Amino acid sequence: MKEAELWSVAVSPHVKSHESVEKIMWTVVACLMPSLILSIFVFGFQTLIITAVSVGSCLATEAISQKCLRQPVTIKDGSAVITGVLLAYVIPPGVPYWMPILGGVVAVFVTKQLMGGIGYNIFNPALIGRAFLVATYPVAMTSAWLPPLREASIFKYMAPGVDAVSTATPLYVLKHYGLDALIEKFGSLSTMYGNFFLGLRPGCIGETSVLLLLLGGLFLIYKGYITWHIPVSVFGSVAFFTWVFGGEGYFAGNPLLAILSGGVPLGAIYMATDYVTSPNQKTGQILFGIGVGALTVLIRLKGGYPEGVAYAILLMNTLTPALDGWFKPKRFAPAKGAVK
């Protein structure tokens, strides 16, 4: 044996799992990609450009702000990419390109890096990006919907002669014209549900196809990256409160429509489950999900906006530290008199 041999030393454990932050983040990105591909078929390449611009803005913002704050640049970990994709997914695809750029700066620099970087943000960065854009450019953010391509002929929702209504989101139509007007656009109720489930309707880039979002979510649950608690409680809560309060009189709402028609699937599976901004114990997660659902329905039914998932999640983000404080892991056997 040579004298000069050096071995590494470190505190145990010496073996670690193969999981890593990068692996988790890039898997989430991969699970979001089918929705993007579908959106290209439905709305055209504009959606791809918007998403690319948004991701680019988030990556550049993270790199520049980390350089300026003299921190290691961590853009490879994929978290800024997720923020970029999610931001693109929650803004109308017809907005000018500078809007996702601005949104990305707010999302990554203000919401994440100024708070201490990954793991220390209070709010979901992409949603703050969206909320900032809605507050500053309300017109574009509520009307820049793209009409589906004419080639997408299966897309029954397309009315001849594009007007504001025909490209508006289903929730907008529902809020301002009622369910009958919405059904009329699709021909029949079952066609409408079918199109909603597959994603053949106007809306934000990534929130339309319930099927693809669900498949991605199931994969994340299978991998153990997220658990069912938050998505299921959000879905359940939205359905329940819509059923109770969403119709003429009580218990007359349409829970299926409420889940299929807006941003609930994207929010429930990919945004409300964000590690940093959601509770980490099961009880806290279920209450968090119920809260998101309840606030979503409240905003949809009583608020000024047709859609409320984004604000519902942001509002519940503020309760996450409290929920984590109330619902801690159950100690195996704390000693009598031990500090709790």
Q: How far is CA 142 from the centre of its chain?
A: 17
Nearest alpha carbon to residue 307 among 78, 137, 130, 163: 130
Of 28 and 238, CB closest to other proteins: 28
Please select the residue that binds other proteins; options are 93, 104, 117, 216, rule is CB under 8 A.
Answer: 117
* Cβ atoms of residues 124 and 317 within 8 Å: yes
Under rule CB under 8 A, residue 120 binds other proteins:
yes
Please select the residue that binds other proteins; options are 16, 70, 150, 302, rule is CB under 8 A.
Answer: 16
Under rule CB under 8 A, residue 21 binds other proteins:
yes
Instruction: List the interface residues with other proteins, window 253-292 (CB under 8 A).
Output: 275-276, 280-281
Q: What share of the chain is helix, strand, coil (3-state, %, to 5)?
A: 60, 0, 35
Under rule CB under 8 A, residue 8 binds other proteins:
yes
Of 251 and 332, CB closest to other proteins: 332
Within 8 A by CB and 6+ apart from 332, the residues are none
Residue 11 is inside which H or E element, if any? none
Under rule CB under 8 A, residue 139 binds other proteins:
no
Q: How far apart are CA 305 and CA 175, in angstroms?
A: 9
Shortest Å, Cβ 235 to other proteins:
21
Give the count of alpha carbons within 13 A of 53, CB side only: 18
Under rule CB under 8 A, residue 251 binds other proteins:
no
Of 96 and 119, CB closest to other proteins: 119
Shortest Å, Cβ 32 to other proteins:
18
Under rule CB under 8 A, residue 45 binds other proteins:
no
DSSP character for 61?
Answer: H
Encoded amino acid at 308, one letter: G
Nearest alpha carbon to residue 292 among 236, 250, 246, 254: 236
Report the SS3 class of residue 328: coil
Shortest Å, Cβ 21 to other proteins:
5
Shortest Å, Cβ 300 to other proteins:
29
Shortest Å, Cβ 312 to other proteins:
20
Shortest Å, Cβ 168 to other proteins:
38
Please select the residue that binds other proteins; options are 7, 45, 222, 251, rule is CB under 8 A.
Answer: 7
Integer-rounded Cα Rg, in Å, for the chain is 22
Contact characters 69-88, other proteins, x per CB under 8 A: -----x--x-x---------
Under rule CB under 8 A, residue 336 binds other proteins:
yes
Under rule CB under 8 A, residue 4 binds other proteins:
no
Instruction: List the interface residues with other proteins, window 196-235 (CB under 8 A).
Output: none
Report the SS3 class of residue 247: strand
Please select the residue that binds other proteins; options are 70, 150, 302, 340, rule is CB under 8 A.
Answer: 340
Under rule CB under 8 A, residue 118 binds other proteins:
yes
Q: How many residues make contact with other proteins (CB under 8 A)?
A: 42
| Locus of tokens 């919405």 | 182
Q: How far apart are CA 62 and CA 83, in angstroms?
A: 11
Q: At what angle do helices 79-89 and 21-43 cross, to 10 degrees?
A: 30
What residues does 249 pair with on adjacent strands?
247
* Cβ atoms of residues 107 and 87 within 8 Å: yes
Of the candidate spans 3-11, 103-111, 178-186, 193-201, the one that interacts with other proteins by CB under 8 A turns out to be 3-11
Report the SS3 class of residue 304: coil
Q: Which residues bind other proteins (CB under 8 A)?
A: 1, 5, 7-17, 19-21, 23-24, 74, 77, 79, 116-120, 275-276, 280-281, 328-336, 338-340
